[in-house]
Chain A
Amino acid sequence: MDNFEFHKPTSIDDAIKAVDGKDEPKFLAGGQSLIPVMKLDMAQPSDLVSLAGVATLKEIKEDGDTLVIGAMATHATVAESDAVTKAIPSIASMAGHIGDAQVRNRGTIGGSVAHADPAADYPAALVALNATVKTHKREIAAEDFFTELFETALEEGELITAIHFKKPKRSWYEKFQSPASKYAIAGVCVAEYDDGVRVAITGAGNKVFRHAGMEKALSGNFDPSALDGVDVDAGELRTDVEASAEYRAHLVKVMAKRAVKNAR
């Protein structure tokens, strides 16, 4: 790992100033993705700006029909949060099953979302739960946020401050984990709203995506059986050492049905 300058601001403004004009700056949240990547020399920042000292980024609150989770809330905090469990229990459950206990103790929602791993769990929740990614200067709809494999709509020096989830009538997330890495091979988040159902899939493709066929079927009938006739096209999915596209397509459907069944 190459060396870098380390900064630890205590406010959002100072964090933004800290990256300004730097060669290759990076924000450091929980580091559970970034540090492993740096150890492999796949990221070589000139400056690392830790957000651990910015207290306002850790806030979790309900705001009308919105659940706000600060970017620096750890997975463990989200999993144990009464506010989250009350507002959108699927998010608490999902956060409680990310990685392992030690990853959950450090890893944050903002870090996970910014890293945009195609097999991470949060992207599915963001897209299904119609979330808005709030940055220090704008709001980005979750669907527009995840652009490519490990790519997001974030601009240079742009800081995620919070994620705003729209409370659904009910929702759930089910995943089939890689037995080795514990990342999702197929993770499906379903969310029912007054104006329809949203289904987002992670782990199976090169980035999180919605499934129109499932959404249509479930919007008419929010029941696992509604998915019986829906096809999941393996052609759009990934084949790798862990699973074939065909198997992933099958799992997406199984996980979707289970998510519908367990939704609350």
Chain B
Amino acid sequence: MPTIKLTVNAKPVTMEVEARTLLVDLIREHLKLTGTHVGCDTSQCGACVVMVGGQSVKSCSMLAVEADGQDVTTIEGMAKNGELHPLQKAFHENHGLQCGFCTPGVVISASDLLKKNPSPDEGQIREWLEGNICRCTGYHNIVKAVQQCADEMKGGA
């Protein structure tokens, strides 16, 4: 079995995995980080989105061995020193989540957007979220939360 070394939420991980292990299974089953979810089997729902090497990816469509040597951030690694990430805060303040199942993927995906485009307009936010399906919120408050976060981060910068 291949041995992989990676960093997950700033902690080094060294582990033997079967080559066929999906990254999402490494995260959920082996590392017990169950904030990353599986909502479909056709790589579309986005509940499993995590950051790998600074890019948001669907962890159901990537092998754990492909993450060898990379930095991985899951929803559990977003808050720092007990402080919620500005996006997490914005989702809370804007009621950007209901059942919470898609939320980790949406938050990670949105953080990738704001990194690439700190001032997205409404249309750009909606288009970026193409890969995240939410059945509860009608996306209204998700988009509001991302807008608020973008505004605040700009204000802070």
Using CB atoms and an 8 Å cutoff, list the residues of chain A in contact with chain B. 1-6, 8, 28, 31-32, 35-36, 38-39, 48, 50, 52, 76, 99-103, 105-106, 181-182
Q: Are B19 and A35 in contact (CB under 8 A)?
A: no
Q: Write the chain A residue with the least CB distance to B53.
A: A105
Q: Write the chain B residue with the least CB distance to A181.
A: B44
Is B119 part of the binding interface, using a Cβ–Cβ cutoff of 8 Å? no
Q: Are B49 and A102 in contact (CB under 8 A)?
A: yes
Binding-face segment, B57-65, B81-89, B139-147: B57-65
Q: Write the chain B residue with the least CB distance to A6.
A: B19
Q: Are B66 and A101 in contact (CB under 8 A)?
A: no
Q: Are B57 and A1 in contact (CB under 8 A)?
A: no
Contact of B112 among A48, A101, A181 (CB under 8 A): A101
Contact of A5 among B19, B58, B113 (CB under 8 A): B19
- Among A39, A76, A105, the most chain B Cβ lie within 10 Å of the Cβ of A105
Q: Are A32 and B61 in contact (CB under 8 A)?
A: yes
Contact with A along B84-116 (1 / 0, CB 8 A): 000000000000000000000000010011000
Give Cα distance in the complex from A181 to B44, angstroms: 8
Interface of A is mostly: mixed
Using CB atoms and an 8 Å cutoff, list the residues of chain B in contact with chain A. 2, 18-20, 22, 41-44, 46, 49, 55-58, 60-63, 65-66, 68, 109, 112-113, 128, 130-131
Task: Indicate whether A101 sits within 8 Å of B113 (C-beta atoms), given known contacts A6-B63, A31-B61, A106-B61.
Answer: yes
Task: Indicate whether A36 sits within 8 Å of B42 (C-beta atoms), given known contacts A3-B18, A5-B19, A101-B109.
Answer: yes
Interface of B is mostly: mixed
Q: Write the chain B residue with the least CB distance to A40.
A: B41
Give Cα distance in the complex from A52 to B63, angstroms: 12
Cβ–Cβ < 8 Å partners of A106 in chain B: 55, 57-58, 61-62
Cβ–Cβ < 8 Å partners of A99 in chain B: 130-131
Task: Indicate whether A105 sits within 8 Å of B130 (C-beta atoms), given known contacts A31-B66, A48-B19.
Answer: no
Cβ–Cβ < 8 Å partners of A100 in chain B: 46, 130-131
Cβ–Cβ < 8 Å partners of A31 in chain B: 61-63, 66
Q: Are B128 and A101 in contact (CB under 8 A)?
A: yes
Q: Are A103 and B58 in contact (CB under 8 A)?
A: yes
Cβ–Cβ < 8 Å partners of A32 in chain B: 43, 61
Cβ–Cβ < 8 Å partners of A6 in chain B: 2, 19, 63, 65
Seed contacts A2-B20, A28-B63, A35-B63; 12 additional CB < 8 Å A-B pairs:
A3-B18, A6-B2, A28-B66, A50-B66, A100-B130, A101-B56, A101-B109, A102-B56, A102-B109, A102-B131, A103-B43, A106-B57
